[in-house]
Amino acid sequence: MKILNLTEGSFPINLSYKLESIDVPKIGSLIGNLEVKLRILRISNNLLKCDGSIKGDFTDICQNCLKETILNIFSEIDVTLKDLNEIHSDSSEQDQTHYQDLEYFNLQKFIEEETGLNYPDIVKCEESCIEENESLKQEKNFPFKKIRDLID
């Protein structure tokens, strides 16, 4: 776990490293390392900007056919960082804001949160896996079709 003090020091902070494991519930298992590249800039006293990327491979189960599949995750990060004390007084309606204690900024927690947010909601082994198969529709057995035909 890497802790940074973002209230002092020189900026920008450039980070490039690999995580061997992450602890994010309800996502697949990490294969190999999660590659992280970040740059943190100071905009004002309690306002920082973080941009960069997260890249890694995960194994997960297809939600349609239950086949194990490999997901390649690559996500760009463009987040505003603010101190946790400002969470209730913040009136800026920014979508991408991460609140955490800037004096003891937990980088692992930030990476895990960004990975969880960028992980796909629906896991599928291929694009067409979730779409209904047309041949299955035609092969369905309609037990009362003859009766319906006689009525019509």
- pTM equals 0.75
pLDDT tens-digit readout, 34-66 = 999 999 999 888 789 999 999 999 999 998 888
pLDDT tens-digit readout, 66-82 = 899 999 999 999 999 98
The yes-or-no verdict on residue 152 having pLDDT over 80 is: no
pLDDT of residue 79: 92
- The structure tokens listed for 150 are 């006689």
Q: Please provide the DSSP assignment of 13-46 as one string.
A: EEEEEEES----TTS-EEEEEEEEEEEEEEEETT
pLDDT of residue 87: 76
